[in-house]
């Protein structure tokens, strides 16, 4: 810029735009004027070039500034877009979790849950025999490859070639004989290796066949045990069926199963997910001014509503999977108890309260259209016990304690009965059995009073629960039966309950109940206790380890008319 200004000042000082010849003696001569004009033209050209250079530099500088601003704007936009994308991903994940939680029941209804035992049979896959390199025979030696070509006419011109040919012919014949012997030896070795490989293959095939046959035999044994109603087989079958149910990996999805063959009742104790399974954040949003992602917390009421729907869906889904899997009609009623494992904040101890419990029969459950029901309303209609505040782990009383149908209380094999020191309830005298039942309910906190014995061998008594509000008059009937107690006995108990003005009726038997009995008792203040329940209560409250082994000549008493 300094040079440009200098040249401009020089040109302005001279102010020569057009030079004319002058006659003044002191004027420049023409040659000097021409030199000055060239100098000025050169200066003006340089000024023009310098102006263009300055303008180009300025243009480049402004372009660079615009590029820097554009890059900064793009970087800021990408930065904001990354936060917007993260917020969108978090919202999508939350929505996905909600859809999964709301589709727990529908997923099972639209899935074939049947556990086909035949499908568990291993396929018989016989490996193909592979001889490897021994599969192809070694090529036998070719004699012509060892015998040299005769010299022909050369032997007449060159006599020594005949002698050399004879020597080569002899050597070739010897090499051929050696090759033939080596080939025979190779063939013998190959035959031996093939025999060993075939023997190993046959042994492997035999092993596979035996393993598959044993596995098929085991499956058939399980099928036979199921067909006979074996308790352990039934428990194993339904445990495997429930274990196949697909839940989110965040769910415990573990269940214990027990079976009462007398009443064909299956009890399921299920591990429910904790309250934290519900997404407590409703939405994520990018706040530009704070340059961060904000969270909109879901209301406590909404979280509780979602969690209640979740545990109710799990209960209905479990019931559905049991009945759907049972195609041998071995289950007439199902008890579902849902528990949540947690830590008591007040004591720091592990707790496992039951927050939902329901019992239903196949006939009632088959009438439901699970694709259209509201889970909470449906379970309410099934007279289920649902915690008012499952999120706070407020427990409810199970319809039936799982431990009361645990397989440990099922009768033992006859071969052990003689070695077992526990009293057999079926061998007690009527008076001893009456005293046993009376003593049991006294130990459970009831004030019992014996009534007149019925003709069917049952124990009838009226008891009083001294607890305020929950207490009242209780009618108790106990029957030593071998066969399933009919629904008529439950109806009789209900009639007695109404006649006595009692608040509750309890029917205890050494056998079990059918679905008709449970259907009749459903929704009524009646408790039905089977033989395994009775054994549990005796051990838990009276300290009596009993057993139930039916004598071969036992005959059930004739029911009261």
| DSSP states along 189-223 | HHHHHHHHHHHHHHHHHHHHHHHHHHHHHHHHHHH
What is the structure's pLDDT at 132?
Answer: 84
Q: Are residues 86 and 166 in the same domain?
A: no
* Residue of 452, 442, 480 lying closest to 559 (CA atoms): 480
- Residue percentage of the chain with pLDDT more than 90: 20
DSSP one-letter string for 374-437:
-HHHHHHHTT-EE-S-GGGT-----SS-GGGG-GGGSPPPHHHHTT--SPBGGGS-HHHHHHHH
Q: Are residues 364 and 488 in the same domain?
A: no
**In angstroms, rounded to a whole number, what is the distance separating the alpha carbons of residues 356 and 400?**
11
Q: Are residues 215 and 256 in the same domain?
A: no
DSSP code at position 547: B
pTM score, whole prediction: 0.62
What is the structure's pLDDT at 416?
Answer: 32
Helix, strand, coil % in the chain, rounded to nearest 5: 50, 15, 35
538 alpha carbon, distance to own chain's centre: 39
In a domain, residue 324? The reply is yes
- pLDDT above 50: residue 420: no
Of 227, 261, 284, the position where a domain reaches its end is: 227
Q: Are residues 473 and 495 in the same domain?
A: yes
- Secondary structure of residue 259 in the 3-state scheme: strand
- Secondary structure of residue 91 in the 3-state scheme: helix
Of 405, 435, 461, the position where a domain reaches its end is: 405
| 265-274 residue pLDDT tens | 899 999 999 9
Q: Are residues 20 and 89 in the same domain?
A: yes
What lies within 8 Å, CB to CB, of 314 at 6+ separation is 104, 270, 272, 338
- Secondary structure of residue 242 in the 3-state scheme: helix
Burial category of 424 from C-beta neighbours within 10 Å (exposed 0-12, middle 13-18, buried 19 and up) = middle
Q: Are residues 338 and 450 in the same domain?
A: no
Q: Are residues 282 and 383 in the same domain?
A: yes
Sign of the CA dihedral running 193, 199, 202, 204? negative
**In angstroms, rounded to a whole number, what is the distance separating the alpha carbons of residues 356 and 311?**
8
Q: Are residues 400 and 285 in the same domain?
A: yes
- pLDDT above 60: residue 48: yes
Q: Name, of 199-208, 417-426, 459-468, 481-490, the range with top average pLDDT.
A: 199-208
User: Residue 228: which pLDDT band, with cuts at 50, 70 and 90?
Assistant: confident
In a domain, residue 180? The reply is yes
In a domain, residue 132? The reply is no
Q: Name, of 108-112, 216-220, 246-250, 368-372, the range with top average pLDDT.
A: 368-372
- Secondary structure of residue 128 in the 3-state scheme: coil
Q: Are residues 247 and 372 in the same domain?
A: yes
501 alpha carbon, distance to own chain's centre: 50
Q: Are residues 346 and 393 in the same domain?
A: yes
CB atoms within 10 A of CB 12: 8
What is the structure's pLDDT at 451?
Answer: 62
Length of the chain: 561
| Kind and range of the H or E run holding 32 | helix 30-102
| 142-161 residue pLDDT tens | 888 888 777 666 555 566 66
In a domain, residue 561? The reply is no
The answer to which of 94-98, 157-161, 467-471 has the lowest mean pLDDT is: 157-161
- Contacts within 8 Å (CB) and 24+ apart, 241-249: 241/113, 241/115, 241/321, 241/322, 241/325, 242/268, 242/318, 242/321, 242/322, 244/113, 244/115, 245/108, 245/113, 245/317, 245/318, 245/321, 246/107, 246/111, 247/104, 248/97, 248/100
| 495-530 residue pLDDT tens | 888 888 888 899 998 888 888 888 888 888 898 888
In a domain, residue 559? The reply is no
- pLDDT above 60: residue 13: no
Of 200, 227, 254, the position where a domain reaches its end is: 227
Number of domains in the chain: 4
| 338-396 residue pLDDT tens | 999 998 888 888 999 999 999 998 889 999 999 999 999 999 999 899 999 998 889 98
Token pair for 29 = 């001569």
424 alpha carbon, distance to own chain's centre: 44
Query: From the CA atom positions of the chain, what is the Rg in Å?
Result: 50
Category of 501 on φ-ψ map: left (φ > 0), alpha (ψ -120 to 50) or beta: left
Token pair for 411 = 């009768």
What is the structure's pLDDT at 210?
Answer: 93
Residues 68, 74, 80, 83, Cα dihedral to 10°? -110
Average pLDDT over every residue of 108-124 = 84
- pLDDT above 70: residue 10: no
What lies within 8 Å, CB to CB, of 12 at 6+ separation is none
| 176-224 residue pLDDT tens | 888 888 888 888 888 898 889 999 999 999 999 999 999 899 888 888 8
Average pLDDT over every residue of 243-272 = 87
- Secondary structure of residue 527 in the 3-state scheme: strand
In a domain, residue 551? The reply is no
Q: Are residues 283 and 400 in the same domain?
A: yes
The answer to which of 74-88, 285-299, 366-380 has the lowest mean pLDDT is: 74-88
Question: Average model confidence (pLDDT) for the chain?
Answer: 82
What lies within 8 Å, CB to CB, of 116 at 6+ separation is none
**In angstroms, rounded to a whole number, what is the distance separating the alpha carbons of residues 340 and 338?**
7
- pLDDT above 90: residue 328: no
For residue 497, give the CATH number of its domain: 3.40.1350.10
**In angstroms, rounded to a whole number, what is the distance separating the alpha carbons of residues 221 and 219?**
5
Instruction: Tell me the residue range of the domain where 160 lies.
Output: 120-125+137-227
**In angstroms, rounded to a whole number, what is the distance separating the alpha carbons of residues 464 and 475?**
9
Q: Are residues 382 and 423 in the same domain?
A: no
Q: Are strands 459-465 and 447-450 parallel, antiparallel or unpaired?
A: antiparallel
| Kind and range of the H or E run holding 48 | helix 30-102
Q: Name, of 3-7, 209-213, 534-538, the range with top average pLDDT.
A: 209-213
Paired strand residues for 477? 460, 507
**In angstroms, rounded to a whole number, what is the distance separating the alpha carbons of residues 219 and 222?**
5
In a domain, residue 64? The reply is yes
Query: Which one has a higher pLDDT value, 279 or 77?
Result: 279
**In angstroms, rounded to a whole number, what is the distance separating the alpha carbons of residues 66 and 78?**
18
In a domain, residue 554? The reply is no
């Amino acid at each position: 810029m300094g040079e440009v200004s200098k040249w401009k000042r020089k040109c302005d000082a001279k102010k020569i735009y057009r030079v004319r010849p002058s006659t003044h003696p002191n004027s420049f001569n023409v040659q000097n004027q021409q030199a000055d004009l060239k100098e000025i033209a050169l200066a003006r050209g340089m000024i023009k070039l310098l102006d263009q250079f300055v303008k180009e530099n300025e243009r480049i500088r402004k372009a660079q500034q615009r590029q820097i601003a554009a890059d900064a704007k793009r970087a800021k936009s990408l930065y904001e877009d990354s936060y917007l994308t993260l917020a969108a991903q978090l919202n999508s994940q939350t929505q996905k979790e909600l859809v999964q939680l709301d589709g727990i029941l529908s997923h099972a209804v639209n899935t074939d849950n049947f556990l086909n035992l035949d499908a568990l049979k291993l396929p018989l896959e016989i490996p193909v025999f592979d001889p490897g390199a021994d599969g192809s025979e070694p090529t036998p030696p070719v004699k012509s490859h060892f015998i040299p070509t005769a010299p022909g006419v050369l032997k007449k011109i060159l006599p020594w070639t005949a002698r050399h040919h004879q020597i080569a012919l002899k050597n070739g014949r010897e090499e051929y004989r050696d090759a033939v012997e080596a080939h025979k030896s190779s063939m013998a070795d190959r035959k031996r290796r093939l025999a060993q490989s075939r023997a190993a293959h046959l042994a492997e095939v035999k092993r596979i066949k035996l393993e598959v046959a044993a596995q098929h035999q085991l499956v058939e044994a399980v099928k036979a045990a199921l067909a006979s109603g074996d308790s352990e087989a039934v428990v194993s079958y339904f445990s495997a069926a429930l274990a196949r149910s697909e839940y989110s990996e965040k769910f415990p999805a573990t269940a214990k199963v027990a079976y009462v063959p007398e009443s064909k009742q299956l009890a399921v104790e299920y591990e429910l997910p904790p309250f934290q399974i519900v997404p407590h954040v409703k939405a994520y949003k990018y706040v530009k001014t704070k340059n961060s992602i904000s969270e909109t917390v879901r209301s406590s009421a909404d979280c509780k509503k979602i969690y209640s729907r979740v545990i109710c869906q799990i209960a209905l889904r479990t019931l559905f999977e049991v009945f759907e899997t049972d195609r041998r009609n071995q289950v007439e009623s199902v008890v579902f108890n849902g528990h949540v494992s947690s830590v008591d904040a007040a004591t720091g101890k592990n707790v496992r309260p039951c927050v939902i419990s329901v019992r239903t029969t196949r006939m009632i459950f088959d009438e439901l259209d699970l694709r259209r029901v509201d889970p909470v309303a449906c379970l309410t209609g099934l007279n289920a016990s649902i915690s008012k505040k499952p999120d706070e782990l407020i427990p409810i009383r199970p319809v039936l304690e799982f431990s009361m149908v645990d397989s440990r209380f099922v009768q033992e094999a006859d071969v052990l009965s003689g070695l077992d020191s526990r009293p057999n309830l079926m061998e007690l005298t009527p008076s001893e059995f009456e005293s046993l039942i009376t003593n049991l309910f006294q130990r459970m906190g009831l004030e019992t009073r014996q009534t007149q014995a019925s003709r069917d061998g049952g124990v009838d008594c009226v008891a009083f629960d001294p607890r305020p509000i929950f207490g009242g008059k209780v009618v108790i009937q106990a029957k030593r039966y071998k066969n399933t107690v009919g629904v008529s006995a439950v109806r009789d108990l209900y009639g007695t309950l109404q006649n006595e003005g009692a608040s509750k009726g309890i029917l205890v038997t050494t056998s079990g109940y059918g679905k008709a009995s449970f259907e009749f008792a459903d929704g009524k203040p009646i408790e039905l206790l089977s033989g395994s329940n009775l054994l549990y209560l005796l051990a838990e409250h009276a300290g009596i380890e009993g057993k139930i082994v039916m004598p071969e000549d036992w005959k059930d008493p004739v029911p009261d008319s």
